[in-house]
Chains A and B, each alone.
Chain A
């Protein structure tokens, strides 16, 4: 079993929909949680960074961490075709980049 599980999709939604992307993890020591977005033929770019539990909002994006369930989510409101990308979760217990554990990524297509 992988330390971080992420449904690869693909997920296809109409423009304007609310999108929910999720990762589950097994290591209860994880405290730092990140969401990266990767467009086709590009490198990942950091979207959201959360420490410990709770919610964090940035524009149309909300990151949610439920440590009791070992479950993290990324919500995208009013989704746009420009949100079409692969979304990768990443996490670790030390806030140290070299110890990041990555999900495989979920491919999202937002259709106009």
Chain B
């Protein structure tokens, strides 16, 4: 158990809809990262938050947004969903903000868009 909790584990929705994925980082970790994993693209970094502030953006679409709350949990909002958004979405946490260090991943949220 990595200590990172993600909900929901699975969700199925229709094109055009909006969903929210939730992540609670490991106790003491201030950084939260969101990744998208698909078979053809592998793990793609979406966005990082550190102690409530956006720290870096990766390949995140404009239809997607995220935030980190004062209690350090984070939410990833996906809107105007398309078939191609079907993927595994992982949250990871680490102690460091701008540095490296081990990433601890949750078990992921599997999104299916029909």
Q: Name the contact of A49 in the complex, choosing from B43, B94, B102 (C-beta under 8 A).
A: B102
Interface size on A, residues (CB 8 A): 20
Binds A, one of B14-22, B70-78, B79-87, B105-113: B105-113
A97 to chain B, nearest CB (A): 6
Interface residue A45 (Cβ < 8 Å from any Cβ of B):
yes
A100 to chain B, nearest CB (A): 7
Check if A43 sits within 8 Å of B2, measured CB to CB. yes
User: Could you say which interface size class chain B belongs to?
Assistant: 20 to 34
B47 to chain A, nearest CB (A): 9
**Dominant secondary structure at the A interface:** loop
Check if B45 sits within 8 Å of A95, measured CB to CB. no
Check if B99 sits within 8 Å of A96, measured CB to CB. yes
* Proximity bits, A36-54, B CB within 8 Å = 1, else 0: 0000011111100100000
**Residues on A facing B (Cβ under 8 Å):** 32, 41-46, 49, 88, 90, 94-98, 100, 102-105
14 cross-chain CB contacts under 8 A? A88-B42, A88-B43, A90-B43, A94-B100, A95-B100, A97-B96, A97-B101, A98-B33, A98-B45, A98-B55, A98-B56, A100-B45, A102-B42, A104-B39
